[in-house]
């Protein structure tokens, strides 16, 4: 009997655990037995690997081959174990020495011709391998650059099984004809400039405040007033992602099967799921592989829900926990899958199903009951978590051409300066933006002037306890934008006006 083993990783969202793939060749009828909780895709690896051996002109062991994946209790899925399986088989069959292969972590799928195929999650997989002490990763050649984004790990690319045999002999075939330089890639092309939004100075200002403080925004108003235009322009106002955030955003994209390419994603992402989106599409999950959902693809960027009342109430309620914790946990058999989801939420809604309620000169054809039902689809707890509530009015005739605000680049500069002031104050309390500051920390900060304005609003029932804190956070952002040390009365009044809940009043 000969036995050998190679390492791979099981991906559990952003976390990963090392998995040892053991191969044992014993006398017996020539067949392959696979044990250790493999799923269907993994079970098929048996046939894929055998075909790949034949395709590469290598002989498959002609005895009983047992492949065991440990730890056995951990469910394993996906096709990325192929490379570890064939490495273990090659070593057990004494076609390669065992010393080099034992030190590497293997991730990659094989085609029937023996060539390697790209797999999801290379970046988080290699990150996890580094965490548990591996310093060498063997990956499909086409994913060499993605794996190389992880510092401190040597990456050996393999284009086919012949390359793998070389690697196991300690003779890696280094990046044939692959450029070594990395370039930062945009998460998506930025859409439009803020100065294209005409006749909405208040809304542009609110967007600037939202960008500076990381505040959530609710925009409501008639169709065509520019709600989507504004939302699409928010990522352009946000600062570029720092190294840690860029690595997280790139890792989520890798897990979603979006090509990461040769550089980290530096622009804040923009995710705008359709209102028919299922629970799994929104928060993540799925029957086979727990993929990240739209909220995780918005991590460190913007989640835009257009026509928010049309989303399923269950889907909207599912946003509550990530809004508080910045992550989402999906329960799977024997394991929990965790994805980051710290996003800036932008909700947009029409005033009523037909869109004309409260619009000057418009004629609403909705029954009062249907307007009420439409309004109630956005629950109090969700709206209470949104910092800025803004009602957009249609452009007045004649203003369309005359009024346009500052271009994106100018506003982004002011946002960056405000963030700078914020970080001096918030770095000691481990927050990045005013919106993230916990209530307990907020109350230890200097008291803004004019808080009696808020006490009045609370007494009149216009402000909840959570709303009170949100207004104070907004006031800090206004002070940061204005370069003031502590918010003054004007900042507080400005913050309060950004949180007028006219949503139900508009109906």
Q: Which residues bind Zn ion (CB under 5 A)?
A: 352, 354, 357, 364, 366
Q: In what order do the strands lie in the sheet with 15-26?
A: 31-35, 64-70, 15-26, 2-12, 104-106, 136-140, 154-158
Q: Which two tokens stand for residue 317?
A: 């309620």
Cis amide leading into 217 (omega within 30): no
CA distances from 49 to 26, 61, 173, 422, 465 (A): 18, 12, 21, 55, 60
142/507 with CB nearer Zn ion: 507
Q: Cα separation of 67 and 37, whole Å? A: 11
What is the 8-class DSSP label of residue 387? S
Give me the helix-helix angle, 45-55 and 161-168, nearest 10°.
Answer: 90
Cα four-point dihedral sign 104, 335, 72, 163: negative
Cα four-point dihedral sign 121, 127, 133, 136: positive
**Nearest-approach distance from CB 487 to Zn ion, in angstroms:** 39
Q: How many CB atoms lie under 10 A from the CB of residue 460?
A: 8
52/354 with CB nearer Zn ion: 354
Given the structure tokens 């808080």, which residue do they identify? 451
**Nearest-approach distance from CB 368 to Zn ion, in angstroms:** 10
**Nearest-approach distance from CB 354 to Zn ion, in angstroms:** 3
8/375 with CB nearer Zn ion: 375
352/418 with CB nearer Zn ion: 352
- Identify whether the C-beta of residue 313 lies closer than 8 Å to the C-beta of residue 377: yes
**Nearest-approach distance from CB 305 to Zn ion, in angstroms:** 20
Q: Cα separation of 90 and 409, whole Å? A: 56
162/356 with CB nearer Zn ion: 356
366/474 with CB nearer Zn ion: 366
Q: Which two tokens stand for residue 103?
A: 């030190």
28/224 with CB nearer Zn ion: 224
The closest alpha carbon to 246, from 261, 264, 234, 228, belongs to 264
**Nearest-approach distance from CB 507 to Zn ion, in angstroms:** 9
**Nearest-approach distance from CB 219 to Zn ion, in angstroms:** 18
Cβ-in-10-Å burial (0-12, 13-18, 19+) of 440 comes to exposed
Q: Cα separation of 291 and 124, whole Å? A: 13
**Nearest-approach distance from CB 367 to Zn ion, in angstroms:** 9
**Nearest-approach distance from CB 220 to Zn ion, in angstroms:** 13
139/354 with CB nearer Zn ion: 354
Q: Which two tokens stand for residue 212?
A: 């500076």
**Nearest-approach distance from CB 180 to Zn ion, in angstroms:** 59
50/377 with CB nearer Zn ion: 377
What is the 8-class DSSP label of residue 140? E
277/507 with CB nearer Zn ion: 507
**Nearest-approach distance from CB 356 to Zn ion, in angstroms:** 5
Q: Cα separation of 156 and 167, whole Å? A: 7
Q: Which two tokens stand for residue 427?
A: 């770095």
């Amino acid at each position: 009997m000969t036995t050998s083993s190679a390492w791979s990783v099981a991906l559990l969202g952003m976390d990963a655990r090392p998995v040892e793939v053991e191969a044992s060749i014993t006398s017996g009828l020539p067949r392959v037995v696979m044990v250790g909780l493999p799923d269907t895709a993994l079970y098929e690896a048996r046939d894929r690997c055998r075909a790949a051996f034949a395709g590469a002109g290598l002989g498959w062991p002609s005895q009983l081959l047992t492949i065991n994946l440990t730890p056995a209790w951990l469910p394993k899925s996906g096709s990325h174990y192929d490379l570890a399986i064939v490495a273990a088989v090659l070593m057990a069959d004494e076609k390669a020495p065992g010393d080099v292969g034992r030190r590497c972590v293997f991730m990659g799928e094989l085609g029937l011709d023996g060539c390697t195929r790209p797999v999801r999650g290379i970046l988080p997989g290699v990150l996890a391998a580094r965490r548990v002490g591996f310093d060498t990763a063997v990956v499909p050649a086409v994913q060499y650059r993605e794996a190389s984004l992880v510092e401190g790990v040597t990456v050996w690319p393999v284009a086919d099984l012949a390359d793998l045999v070389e690697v196991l002999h300690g003779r890696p075939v280094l990046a044939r004809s692959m450029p070594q330089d990395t370039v930062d890639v945009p998460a998506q092309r930025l859409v439009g400039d803020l100065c294209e939004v005409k006749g909405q100075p208040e809304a542009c200002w609110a967007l600037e405040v939202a960008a500076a403080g990381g505040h959530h925004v609710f925009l409501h108003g008639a169709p065509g007033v520019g709600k989507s235009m504004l939302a699409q322009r928010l990522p352009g106002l946000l600062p570029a992602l720092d190294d840690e955030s860029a690595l997280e955003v790139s890792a989520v994209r890798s897990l979603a099967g979006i090509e990461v390419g040769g550089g980290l994603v530096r622009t804040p992402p923009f995710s705008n799921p359709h209102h028919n989106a299922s629970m799994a599409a929104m928060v993540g999950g799925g029957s086979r592989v727990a993929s990240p959902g739209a909220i995780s693809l918005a991590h460190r960027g913007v989640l835009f829900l257009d026509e928010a009342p049309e989303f399923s109430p269950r889907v909207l309620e599912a946003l509550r926990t990530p809004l508080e914790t910045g992550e989402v946990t999906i329960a799977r058999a024997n394991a929990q899958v965790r994805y980051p989801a710290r996003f800036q939420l932008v909700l947009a809604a029409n005033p009523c199903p037909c869109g004309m309620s409260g619009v000057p000169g418009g004629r609403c054809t909705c029954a009062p009951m249907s307007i009420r039902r439409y309004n109630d689809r956005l629950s109090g707890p969700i709206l209470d978590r949104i910092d800025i509530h803004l009602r957009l009015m249609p452009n007045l005739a004649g203003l369309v051409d005359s009024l346009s605000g500052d271009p994106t680049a100018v506003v982004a500069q002011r946002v960056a300066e405000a963030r700078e002031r914020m970080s001096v104050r918030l770095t000691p309390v481990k927050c990045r933006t005013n919106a993230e500051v916990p209530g307990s920390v907020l109350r230890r900060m200097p008291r803004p002037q004019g808080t009696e304005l808020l006490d009045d609003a609370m007494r009149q029932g216009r402000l909840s306890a959570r709303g009170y804190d949100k207004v104070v956070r907004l006031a800090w952002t206004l002070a940061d934008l204005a370069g003031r040390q502590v918010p003054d009365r004007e900042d507080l009044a400005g913050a309060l006006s950004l949180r007028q809940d006219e949503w139900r009043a508009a109906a």
